[in-house]
Structure 1
Amino acid sequence: MKRIMITGSLGQIGSELALYLANIYGEENILVTDLAEKTLPDLANLAYKKLDVTDFAAFKQAAQDFAADTIMHLAAILSARGETMPQTTYKVNMNGLFNALEVARELHLQLFCPSSIGSFGPGTPMDNTPQDTLQRPETMYGVTKVSGELLCDYYYKRFGVDARGVRFPGLISWKTLPGQGTTDYAVHIYYAAIKEKSYTSYIKANTFMDMMYLPDALQAIVDLMEAPAEKLQHRNAFNVSAMSVDPEMIAASIRKFIPEFTLKYEVDPVRQQIAESWPNSLDVSAAKKEWNFKARYDLDKMTEDMLSNLRVKLGKA
């Protein structure tokens, strides 16, 4: 990777990935794009272009003008929000990815597109979910992610497009709020711990889902994209994770630093149903074997870092 174009740059992953890549490859080699007229203040030093990823001509022109050699395609509508607008979710997630793949094919670019634990469904083995297994999701978001995995594989086998990706679990970050996904509680709980020392979870106790601290996710993207192609058997949709947790485990970790923290519940039936259809834990052995994936943060290490940074961010230091 030398010249990198990022779609969905103003979202939770994109906004932090842009800065992470700029530190590695240079600010002048990063183009951030999104639907908004203006970029975020933190990204002001990077080139920015307003872009609708469902507009193929504009997508291709932006990549050509920037002389990109890599596309990080992050533009997508997430799980919970997607259920309120399934038709739009299909259009954005599928047409956007198809355009990204076509731009990569025509311009001979490398492509990263993340999938998700949302690509699994209730028929999937729930514990230590295999890399290759049954995938029958029950959300439009999940349907688009499974379709995207297959489409990326097709474009590699049929056209030689170097498309790579991971199945992200819930991502936790203190810098940027998530975008209406099912695992968002695992971010909001830390904000509430600092502000109110209490949180009301919309996910039930004993509902386990995989999570990862965003610094580990960003490093995983770079490690995968820089991995020698001949070592990759799967190429895209690698299971990655750092921890399998439920709300009670996160609360217990927070109490090690804020003993008075309390956790209550007011379950959201829609998000709870989605969460129960997802795995409890993932088998990440393929990612470890093929490109040396490794997460640095466990739950307590992540909690300490989250709370420390949020205290400063929220003026509670």
Structure 2
Amino acid sequence: MDTKILIIGACGQIGTELTAKLRATYGVTNVIATDIRKLNNEVVNNGIFEVVNALDYNQIEHLIEQYHITDVYLMAALLSATAEKNPAFAWDLNMNSLFHVLNLAKAGKIKKIFWPSSIAVFGPTTPRHQTPQYTIMEPSTVYGISKQTGERWCEYYYKQYGVDVRSIRYPGLISWSTEAGGGTTDYAVDIYHKAITDGKFTSFLSENTELPMMYMDDAIKATIQIMQAPLDQIKIRSSYNLAAMSFTPKQIGAAITKHYPEFKLSYAPDFRQKIADSWPASIDDSSARADWGWTNDFDMTTMTEAMFKNLKEQVYPH
């Protein structure tokens, strides 16, 4: 049976690039992109697009039946910094959209689910360095609480009902092609833009705040890889740790000055500092590497080169 994919939240930071890669991999007609509103962008203009509210079970069920969907990628969520401003809605969106998709799989209407978790599931009591796959998880943000709860439900639906749901805990994601989306690690996206446009940047995290990061190409690769992996290789049904690199604002600033020697970096920590301080500095992802063969292609140096190359060619071409 052909793979037919439904992406919920296709216009978000990850969804945008994931949609393009899935269309290239499976064919444009086999990938149905959806989001809460219709924007004038590549996701909408380069393939099949439907307006869908992730909280509307009937809408999702209708599309699954209409397009004979086999796999659902549920990318709709309110991210860490944004969620803190609207906790009740963040909980509703992040949890009930997951329940809808899990229940549709339980009912036999879809075969496979990808649901993203995050390093936000960890908290201030978690070991900060080389955070293990299994460890203390006491998240202190609404986003983290919803992701940790989601992980428990994913594992429950797998054990109780045999639902094939797969998940990875994304670190901070860095992309040249989509705007930052209200996350605590977004300074590491914005800093590249400002290096080109302004020659200076003010970080909302302090200079030595180390966080796990990943270039978007690697995150997309991991997402598709875990979904393509044979069933018996997926041994963890909560969510897999995933890592590529860790760095501080000071370190990324130093990497940027190799390309822009005049670049100036200053610091003005805000409410996001407290969120960052509750998260790991580095991640042990040996389970993902052992179980389904995960490897990253980018480190801080190669990512910085790729970011500037793409930004100068695609975003600031003059």
CA contact (8 A) 1:123 1:134 kept: yes
What TM-score does the superposition give when structure 1 sets the normalisation length? Answer: 0.97
What whole-Å deviation, never above 9, does each CA across 1:235-274 have from its counterpart, x for those lacking one? 3411111101110111111111111111001111x20000
Mapped partners of 1:154, 1:239: distance in 2 = 19
Matched with 2:287 is 286
Matched with 1:181 is 183
Does residue 195 (structure 1) correspond to residue 197 (structure 2)? The answer is yes
**Match 1:110 to one of 109, 112, 116:** 112
Matched with 2:254 is 252
Mapped partners of 2:316, 2:141: distance in 1 = 38
Mapped partners of 1:158, 1:49: distance in 2 = 32
CA contact (8 A) 1:11 1:178 kept: no
Q: What is the 5 A alignment of 1:18-37?
A: 18-37=19-38
Aligned residue type for 2:210: F
What whole-Å deviation, never above 9, does each CA across 1:281-307 have from its counterpart, x for those lacking one? 000100000001010000010000101
CA contact (8 A) 1:71 1:104 kept: no
Matched with 1:40 is 41
Aligned residue type for 1:101: L
CA contact (8 A) 1:15 1:43 kept: no
CA contact (8 A) 1:211 1:245 kept: yes
What TM-score does the superposition give when structure 2 sets the normalisation length? Answer: 0.97
Following TM superposition, by how much is the alpha carbon of 1:178 offset from its aligned partner in structure 2, in angstroms? 2.2
Q: What is the 5 A alignment of 1:74-223?
A: 74-106=75-107, 107-223=109-225
Matched with 1:49 is 50
Partner SS for 2:266? strand
Q: What is the 5 A alignment of 1:229-240?
A: 229-240=231-242
Partner SS for 2:179? coil
Following TM superposition, by how much is the alpha carbon of 1:66 offset from its aligned partner in structure 2, in angstroms? 1.1
Mapped partners of 1:26, 1:41: distance in 2 = 15
Mapped partners of 1:233, 1:284: distance in 2 = 13
Mapped partners of 2:145, 2:69: distance in 1 = 29
| Runs of 4+ with deviation above 3 angstroms | none
Percent of residue pairs bearing the same amino acid type = 41
**Match 1:241 to one of 219, 243, 246:** 243
Aligned residue type for 2:300: L
Aligned residue type for 1:100: V
Measured on the aligned residues, the alpha-carbon RMSD in Å equals 1.2
Mapped partners of 1:94, 1:239: distance in 2 = 20
Partner SS for 1:182? coil
